[in-house]
C-alpha cells in the first residue's frame, strides 16, 4: 500500500509542478535578465564539450561507410548516409545528451543547493515565486540553447565527414557535395531542431523538479544532479528512437 501511496504522491507533485510551470510561462513577471544570464552560462559550459563529442561522429560514419559503399562501387552515396545520420539522429541526440550532462546536472545542483540552504523558502517568504525566478529561466535556457548547439554540431559533423571522405580517402568532392545537397531537405533540419527543442525542454523540466525535491544536504544535491543526468539521457535515447520510428512510419 505504501508504494502505491508514494507513487500517487509523486504523480500529484509532478502535476502541481507542471501546472506551476505552465502558469508561469503565460503570466508575469518575467525575469528576462536571469534567463539570459543562465543561457549565457549554459552556452559557455556546453559549447566545447558538445563540439568535441559530436565533431568526430561524421568522420566515424565516413570511416565505416566508405568501405561498404566502395565494395559496391557506390562511394559517391556516402554523403547521403552522412547527411541523414547527422541531421536526423546523431547531432540532435548527442547534443541533447551533452546538454543533459553539462546543463541538466548544473541546474539540478544549483536548485538543490538553494533548497537545502533554505533559499527557496526565503524567496517564497519575500513573495518571489521560486518556479518563476529559479526554475523557469533554466527551462527556457535549455529549450533555446539545445537547438542552437544542434546547428553547430550538425555543421561540425558534416565537416568532419567531408574531411575524412574527400581529403583523406580521396572521394570526389563534386559527387560528395551533389549527393549531400540532393539528400538534405528542410524537413531534415526541422526534425533535428524539433527533437532538440523537445529534449532540451525535458532536461529543464526534470532538472528543475529534481532540484526542488532535494533533501539531505550535500548528498541529496549530488543525488539530484546524478538522477537528472540518468533520467534525461534515458528519456532522450528512448524518445529519439520512438520519434524516428514515428517519422519513418509517416514517410517523413
Predicted local distance difference test score (pLDDT) of residue 159: 85
Residues contacting 238, CB < 8 A, separation 6+: none
pLDDT tens sequence across 33-46: 888 888 888 888 88
Q: What are the grid coordinates assigned to 22, written together?
A: 505552465
Predicted local distance difference test score (pLDDT) of residue 74: 67
Q: Is 180 exposed, middle or buried (CB count within 10 Å of its CB: 0-12, 13-18, 19+)? A: middle
Alpha-carbon distance of 174 to 87, in angstroms, equals 20
Predicted local distance difference test score (pLDDT) of residue 1: 63
pTM: 0.84
Alpha-carbon distance of 112 to 91, in angstroms, equals 30
| Series of mean pLDDT values for 10-residue runs along the chain (252 residues) | 73 79 78 83 81 78 75 71 80 84 84 83 78 85 87 84 78 76 78 88 88 81 86 87 82 70
Q: Are 204 and 143 in contact (CB under 8 A)?
A: yes
Cα R_g (the chain), whole angstroms? 21
Report CA-CA distances (Å) from 210 to 105, 124, 229.
10, 18, 11
CA 31 to chain centre: 23
Residues contacting 129, CB < 8 A, separation 6+: 24, 123
DSSP secondary structure code for residue 216 in this structure: S
Name the residue ranges covered by the structural domains of the chain: 29-249
Amino acid at each position: 500500500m505504501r508504494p502505491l501511496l508514494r507513487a500517487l504522491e509523486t504523480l500529484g507533485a509532478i502535476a502541481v509542478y507542471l501546472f506551476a510551470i505552465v502558469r508561469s510561462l503565460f503570466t508575469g513577471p518575467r525575469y528576462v535578465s536571469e534567463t539570459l544570464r543562465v543561457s549565457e552560462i549554459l552556452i559557455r559550459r556546453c559549447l566545447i564539450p558538445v563540439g568535441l563529442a559530436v565533431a568526430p561522429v561524421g568522420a566515424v560514419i565516413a570511416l565505416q561507410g566508405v568501405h561498404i559503399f566502395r565494395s559496391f562501387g557506390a562511394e559517391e552515396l556516402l554523403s547521403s548516409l552522412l547527411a541523414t545520420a547527422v541531421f536526423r539522429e546523431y547531432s540532435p541526440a548527442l547534443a541533447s545528451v551533452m546538454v543533459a550532462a553539462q546543463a541538466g546536472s548544473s541546474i539540478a545542483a544549483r536548485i538543490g543547493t538553494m533548497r537545502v540552504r533554505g533559499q527557496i523558502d526565503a524567496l517564497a517568504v519575500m513573495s518571489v515565486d521560486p518556479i518563476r525566478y529559479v526554475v523557469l529561466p533554466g527551462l527556457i535556457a535549455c529549450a533555446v540553447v539545445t537547438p542552437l548547439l544542434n546547428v553547430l554540431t550538425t555543421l561540425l559533423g558534416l565537416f568532419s565527414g567531408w574531411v575524412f571522405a574527400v581529403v583523406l580517402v580521396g572521394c570526389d568532392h563534386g559527387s560528395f557535395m551533389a549527393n549531400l545537397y540532393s539528400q538534405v531537405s528542410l524537413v531534415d533540419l526541422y526534425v533535428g531542431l524539433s527533437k532538440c527543442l523537445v529534449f532540451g525542454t525535458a532536461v529543464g523540466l526534470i532538472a528543475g523538479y529534481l532540484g526542488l525535491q532535494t533533501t539531505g544536504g550535500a548528498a541529496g544535491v549530488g543525488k539530484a544532479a546524478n538522477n537528472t543526468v540518468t533520467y534525461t539521457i534515458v528519456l532522450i535515447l528512448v524518445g529519439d528512437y520512438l520519434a524516428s520510428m514515428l517519422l519513418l512510419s509517416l514517410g517523413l
